Structure 1
Amino acid sequence: MTHENHPTDLMDFPGAAALERAGRTEPLDPAVQARAHSLILDAITADAAPARVLRPRFGRRRVFALAAAVAAIAVGAAIVPVTDLGGDGPAASASASEVFTAMADITLSDVANGQTITGAVNAQKLTEAYWKTTIRTWVEGDKAHTDDTYLARDKVVIKTQNGRTVIKENPNGASWPVGAGQVAWDDLYTLPTRPDALRRALAAGAKGSAAEQTVRQAGDLLTDAPVSPKLRAALYRVLAATPGAVVKEGVKDGTGRTGTQISWKWKEKWPVHSDHNPNWIVQPSTGRLLERNMEPGSKPGHISQRDTYLFAGPAKTTG
């Protein structure tokens, strides 16, 4: 569109403000541009179909958000059924609410289009025996190492960078903290996907800051649990409404990938005897969490440890 009087409602979708602030970017590679153009046309065509999943909820204007999301995917990463955590984050400055809302939207738009680039699956339907994560771990004073972790319902298999295989039996079964209790692997699908109900579940029984407990438990579910796309999106929406976050653009993770850093500064210590605050590095255009790192409350800006997420997805075997 070249007319100067642009209709304002065309930009009325989550993340539009950040998009407008992005400014000028360099021209795309012609091949990438052609691919993005094709995907955008597909999205527009799909929006006109009566059976489109998202149409009743978002209406016609949603097509522009979906088209922008599809273009971001085409530029940033190939569409694959597991998480290949690469690419760059957006250049525009945005609030934590905008960032997490955009991540929730892209996660749900993937589902509507029959694709999942986040590696998220429905835990109830996971037929593979393992949930595999590849994490580059660094702790101050030690060398970084990259290990593959295969989580099963009753054990964990870790294949280390130096060739060792460590097996840890877990007769009680895999579970994650939610509120004051634990939720087992096969019960993940029972967690609410309405953000308000999910927030209450995560904050339940908090002995200190309910916001801090919510953020930490949401982070555990997002990084190492086989949660469904709907639950993943709901977790992002919970985080979007959680106060205390500070956003910094153009931050590199432990492997040099650029993303958006979201930080929380807690007044209380969690757990006991720890004064470390979490920083997350995320990629809003793909809904990916690239890294969680920690900095001591007494040394702002000083990173003392990193967990950088390189892969997440189902695996049939540990071979």
Structure 2
Amino acid sequence: MTERGDLLDFPGADELIAAGDVAPPAPEAVTAARTALAQAVRRETTPVVVPLRGRAVPRRRRFLVAAAAVAVITAGAVAYPALDLGGSPAATASAAQFLDEMAGVAADSPAAATSPYWKVHMETVNQDDGNATTTTYIDRAGRVWTVDANGTVHGPGKGSKTKKWSVGGKWLTWPALDKLPTGQKALTALFPRDAESRRHQVTALLEDSPASPALRATLFRILADTPGVKLIGDVKDSKGRSGVAFEIRWSTIGFSTGPGKDVKYRMTDRYVVDPDTGFLLETTHENHGKNGSAARYTWLELGPADRVG
């Protein structure tokens, strides 16, 4: 009884007991509550014994956390206020909270400071290429090696292109990424002012670049301030791996077939993140047009490597 009393020693415990069996909360409500909880944990410094996602829950925050949990469980869902970012529909607070939490996770991830190569093992499914699995290694000069399924290595040939990532109007190799500022204001200023173009460049860096932990953290914070981002919640990717998804809907003009014949495409981009590492597991791009199609990019392995193959 003493242990039970300790566990239920928080404001709202009586309401939780009285609620009895209720319908489960919406996935996005649970994800948002977990994210808010993890953020509170990261900000505190006085730990107790109870762990949460590998971290310690601070005693002083326990009452606020418990009250939030009661709200989620008894109400079944939570309405989160929108962030006023101006212009397009704002990112919901839950999406911003999740992306800010991923910034903290990314900042704590190991760096690839001494590794000579960056390995990208991915599966691509799209209308043009069908289904393809590729393994590439990128060195710090941007040269690319590919490895076949049978282990055959193909080195960069004469005149071969280098791997670069777009930041604003520049294309940067690995060493140049390491020189980017990691302050949010300074880094944001290097990307396009248009929120949609900026989002495309930021997510491309998060997908497969060897960005440092500090840079990845700032990229997530920039996404947290991006209009229109919606948190989907807990999902499984195409390989059955658990992750948390967020998405954004946007429009673009397709190829013109003549005067007045421009086609407007409605798109949905979904990103699945591993909440334990902050790395992307999968990206999908869905076209909602008349002859709509979808493309999927699944990151099977991503990280530093000491050798090719």
TM-score higher than 0.5 here? Answer: yes
Q: Calculate percent identity across the aligned residue pairs.
A: 30
- Aligned counterpart, 2:63: none
- After TM superposition, the score normalised by the length of structure 2 is 0.65
- Aligned counterpart, 1:191: 180
Alpha-carbon distance in 1 for matches of 2:304, 2:53: 25
Alignment of 1:119-198 (within 5 A): 121=111, 125-126=113-114, 128-140=115-127, 144-152=131-139, 153-161=141-149, 165-169=153-157, 173-198=162-187
- Aligned counterpart, 2:300: 310
The answer (yes or no) to whether the contact 1:292–1:306 under 8 Å persists in 2 is yes
Alpha-carbon distance in 2 for matches of 1:279, 1:106: 20
The answer (yes or no) to whether the contact 2:206–2:279 under 8 Å persists in 1 is no
What amino acid sits opposite 2:187 in the alignment? L
Secondary structure at 1:267 match in 2:
strand
Structure 1 residues 305 and 161: CA distance shift in structure 2, 3 A: farther
**Equivalent residue for 2:8, pick from 2, 22, 42:** 2
More contact order relative to length (CA 8 Å, sep ≥ 6):
1
Alignment of 1:101-116 (within 5 A): 101-108=100-107, 110=108, 116=109
The answer (yes or no) to whether the contact 2:142–2:174 under 8 Å persists in 1 is no
The answer (yes or no) to whether the contact 2:31–2:233 under 8 Å persists in 1 is no
1:270 to partner: Cα distance? 8.5
Q: Is 1:60 matched up with 2:45?
A: yes
What amino acid sits opposite 1:309 in the alignment? W
Deviations 1:201-229 (CA, angstroms, capped at 9, x unpaired): 1125xxxxx11111111122112221110
**Equivalent residue for 1:212, pick from 196, 221, 225:** 196
For structure 2, list consecutive stretches of 5 or more residues without a partner in the other structure: 1-6, 14-28, 35-40, 57-76, 79-92, 257-262
Alpha-carbon distance in 2 for matches of 1:144, 1:172: 23
The answer (yes or no) to whether the contact 2:285–2:294 under 8 Å persists in 1 is yes
Alignment of 1:7-22 (within 5 A): 18=30, 21=33
Structure 1 residues 129 and 214: CA distance shift in structure 2, 3 A: same
The answer (yes or no) to whether the contact 1:121–1:228 under 8 Å persists in 2 is yes
Structure 1 residues 151 and 282: CA distance shift in structure 2, 3 A: same
Structure 1 residues 227 and 253: CA distance shift in structure 2, 3 A: same
What amino acid sits opposite 1:217 in the alignment? Q
The answer (yes or no) to whether the contact 1:279–1:292 under 8 Å persists in 2 is yes
Secondary structure at 2:252 match in 1:
coil
The answer (yes or no) to whether the contact 1:149–1:159 under 8 Å persists in 2 is yes
The answer (yes or no) to whether the contact 2:234–2:242 under 8 Å persists in 1 is yes
CA-based RMSD of the aligned residues comes to 3.6
Alpha-carbon distance in 1 for matches of 2:31, 2:239: 26
Secondary structure at 1:311 match in 2:
strand
Alpha-carbon distance in 1 for matches of 2:255, 2:33: 38
Secondary structure at 1:149 match in 2:
strand
Q: Is 1:202 matched up with 2:183?
A: no
1:178 to partner: Cα distance? 0.3
What amino acid sits opposite 2:96 in the alignment? S
- Aligned counterpart, 1:252: 236
Alpha-carbon distance in 1 for matches of 2:100, 2:255: 28
Structure 1 residues 270 and 98: CA distance shift in structure 2, 3 A: farther
1:251 to partner: Cα distance? 3.0
Structure 1 residues 255 and 270: CA distance shift in structure 2, 3 A: farther
Alpha-carbon distance in 1 for matches of 2:8, 2:145: 57
**Equivalent residue for 1:262, pick from 246, 252, 256:** 246
Aligned length: 238
The answer (yes or no) to whether the contact 1:290–1:310 under 8 Å persists in 2 is yes
Alpha-carbon distance in 2 for matches of 1:270, 1:258: 34
- After TM superposition, the score normalised by the length of structure 1 is 0.63
Structure 1 residues 271 and 70: CA distance shift in structure 2, 3 A: farther
